[in-house]
Structure 1
Amino acid sequence: MVRAARTAAATAALAILIHPIAAETQNTRTMTVSVVDPADHPVRDALVCIGTDADRNAFGAARTDALGKARVPIADAGPEGAQSGLGALPAMAATVTANVGTRGGTVRGAIATGATVRLQASGGPACPADTAPTQVAGTMAIDPNAVLAGLARLPNRPIGERLGPLNRPEYCFGAAGQQCVDRIGRIGTCVLGSCLINAGSWLHDECCWRDRNGYLCSGQFEHVLTPPPGGGNPGINCQVEFYAAFTRLDSIFSWRRNVDFAVANSTGRVDHGAYCAPAGAYMIAGEEAMCCSRRVRQPNAVESAAIVSARAINPLLPATPARICAA
């Protein structure tokens, strides 16, 4: 369901935005919190809140994605101007709490950009009930003229087209493209009962379900003008997931599955059995939860050569070690 303008011009424009010359300074940061169970397995859909012992949700809250990670944009608690966009972010004192069901956990200390919370086998601390992220209803109003004016400032701008609104229920939820078709780029991400899927499209769809104002979640094509997170710039929610989906579309890190276009999804969670990566699929290390077996193996010599070749063709692919989905 990733909503991308996949023309050559759009590719050039997004490549420029993924590697901007400079990012605008903002006094905010994004905390990435990993939640794991006692055996260090990632925990999805856990509620994460960041604050103090007295007010556990003082700074913000989010839920973990399919890889057990929650990204929480929070106001910088450091001195004004501390985030100049250069160097490391200053650490801030915080209490990070996570819970799912009756299991909870917490960490405390000086945290710069992230933390890992290990849930107890039973019991444990929990975020206050009112910290659950709320879904934003409706769609964003778009000024087409403002969008086209902004795109005109790009050297190789994509064609300005409005995207459809995010619907409930969703179809082809987890696949690349808008619903079961790619109405903008027309690259056939879902055709003849088959859909192209990757970890980015999977996570972007789930992120957009939680936040309809997220990056390109409800037809906000003007979002392509927003610099990516980094250097003190928090970016837009779901932006990291979109970039992951977009950069992997034409690579070995995407896979195809036969999908029933008539099956609706109203859960906000990708159907693992229908969209998981089969044995032999290429996967970035740490994303093995999307393999049908939920396990990976080391690549052999032929597969390693294919990985090197793919990264040479597309330098935007992640440099994280690659693995192969195990049977």
Structure 2
Amino acid sequence: MSAQDDRNTRTTVRTITDLARLAGVSPGTVSRALAGKSLVNAKTRDKIVSLAREHGFRPNQMASGLRRQKTGVIGVVIPLGHDSRQQISDTFFMTLLGFLADELTREGYDLMLRRVVPETDPDWLDRFIGCGMIDGVIVIGQSDQFERIEDVADGYDAMVVWGNHTEGQRHCVVGTDNRLGGRLAAERLVAAGAKQIAFLGDTTAIEFAARFAGADDVVRRMNLPPIITLPTHLSPDRASEEIAAHMAAIAGRVDGIFAATDTLAALCLTALRERGIAVPDDVRLVGFDDLPIARQTVPPLTTVRQDIGAGARGLVDLLLRRMAGEQTESLVLPPQLTVRQTA
């Protein structure tokens, strides 16, 4: 076989995931090895570096290349691993993106937005970072991609994530204390007279799982019946139908509902109204986010407020500091109960 034929039959190595597959290790191990982290033993590190050199792979996907080539653009990516049909036009995304655009413009940066479905693009984060068109990246939501984000964080510093903070995690996050928010929601429902609570949302999503866990803390502490979970997608073409089915299934059994988002809470109000169930007389309802829609529902929605504007400022501030070489801690924002008329 000629040298040319040999080159043509070589495995193409474009991303850290490609190199990890070739080396028989995880992408996180490759990230740590290329970053010179001592967590990787010398033999494995040497093997990875040798393979990277052999295949002409340079970790320009990582921080070093991006620091040398400033673009004036910050990448913002929304991974939808938990619900591939959710839309960027979702009110929460649009609210946060609006604040981010304002903050980045004020700092002299443009914004490049991507929506990704990890199931069909497993290398989504490596490819975005390595595209050569951005100076840093903000990830909106951990979805079901926590480990993928952790792996990349081992070798790439210029990244901040909106999401839930877990003790010991390696990626830098900005977000609300979701578990505390869940406690506030459940405590309000109980104070308003609820004895059987249901949780409306997908508890496989990290932030929603923390909100559910907080509500569960309260129910257990007060020796109330276990929370009934009502798994619900966030895509509008599915949520309305699912919520209508849930309301039919729990009619007469539940007197308090904690919706994982204000959008789900608003759809829940509609479904309850269609069944002739009065809020808050028959069922108390609490949402989460305090989006503009929470003040516009009938009746106005009691909800847990997360300061999205402060979150956007925190994301941009921490990202710029990390791009300058600073190691930053995560920022966890306090939630606030906003009492209106549904509970």
Instruction: With the length of structure 2 as denominator, give the TM-score of the two structures.
Output: 0.24
Q: Which has the higher helix share?
A: 2
Q: Which has the higher strand share?
A: 1
